[in-house]
Amino acid sequence: MTTHHIENINVTAFDEMPTPEEIHARLPLSEKAAKTVTHGRHLLRNILDRKDHRMFVVVGPCSIHDPVAGLDYARRLKKLSEEVGDTLQLIMRVYFEKPRTTVGWKGYINDPFMDDSFRIDIGMAKAREFLLQVAEIGMPTGTEALDPNAPLTNQGRVAVVRTKGNGYGHIVLRGGDGRPNYDTVSVAMVEQALDKAKLPHNIVVDCSHANSFKKPELQPLVMADIVNQVRLGNKSLVGVMIESNIEAGNQSIPADLSQLKYGCSVTDGCVDWATTEKMIRDAAILLRDVLPERLS
């Protein structure tokens, strides 16, 4: 008995995805890019293990939509990282997925052409290509795999993924329930919870989202507060996250994509590049003589 008349009755097509193995073959990892990845991970582990006195800053656009502007940003950030690298380890925020978005654009992987064509097969390759280009610049990146429905082996077979866990997990405070949670009381409560769970005191503060009430102009105030907590003796705050772009604020996606403003977010609002430089430079100056003492 055939069942085609009762199966997938609303499906118009199945578009096959390239396997990870095929994408890797098409876009191979160079020796230079691999070194950027391994070195960046090594530096972060040392910060979390308190072998490195520096703090880390994950900074970059809310989401990547224009790879040209994204690479422009990466080059600027690389130059700034060389300036403040004795105090702050900079990592470029590179987010491709916006699955929590209920309406609107779902991100560069899901809809790379920003036209509701949802060419995920192309988006996956474009995302890897962008990460490779940033790694070639020598800039470490931080991203998130936010879609839990794609557990594939390198050969493209669906798999149950088992893991030994990540010894370098950390708490990220991004605010919630309509209020910030980066204040000294909230940080102290997290420290107590980590003590109870017998976990390391590794806390990262998101300067954006609910901690700044999604008002990008408030991000510098959050950053300044964290710097002040460290200067006053806090030893559990190991990093911050900043939503930053070339231009400030955000923009709606126009029907004519040629009208998009260069270097401006199409998702959450960001601080502009001048503000980003000032936030990071000010923090480096204020923390330069303080952070080495945290290891003593």
Domains defined along the chain, listed by start: 20-295 (3.20.20.70)
244-254 burial by CB neighbour count: b if 16+ within 10 A, else e? Answer: bbbbbebeeee
3-class DSSP state of 179: strand
Give the predicted TM-score (pTM) of the model: 0.95
Of the candidates 244, 272, 247, which has an alpha carbon nearest to the alpha carbon of residue 260?
Answer: 247
Q: Which H or E element spans position 56?
A: strand 55-60
Of the candidates 127, 91, 93, 92, which has an alpha carbon nearest to the alpha carbon of residue 107?
Answer: 127
Please report, in tens digits, the pLDDT of each residue of the chain (296 residues total). 677 788 888 999 888 889 999 999 999 999 999 999 999 999 999 999 999 999 999 999 999 999 999 999 999 999 999 999 999 999 999 999 886 656 789 999 999 999 999 999 999 999 999 999 999 999 999 998 776 666 688 998 888 888 899 999 999 999 998 899 999 999 999 999 999 999 999 999 999 999 999 999 999 999 999 999 999 999 999 999 999 999 999 999 999 999 999 999 999 999 999 999 999 999 999 999 999 999 87
Give the Cα separation of 23 and 73 in Å (integer). 25
First to last CA, the chain: 75
| Residue 296, burial from CB neighbour count under 10 angstroms (0-12, 13-18, 19+) | exposed
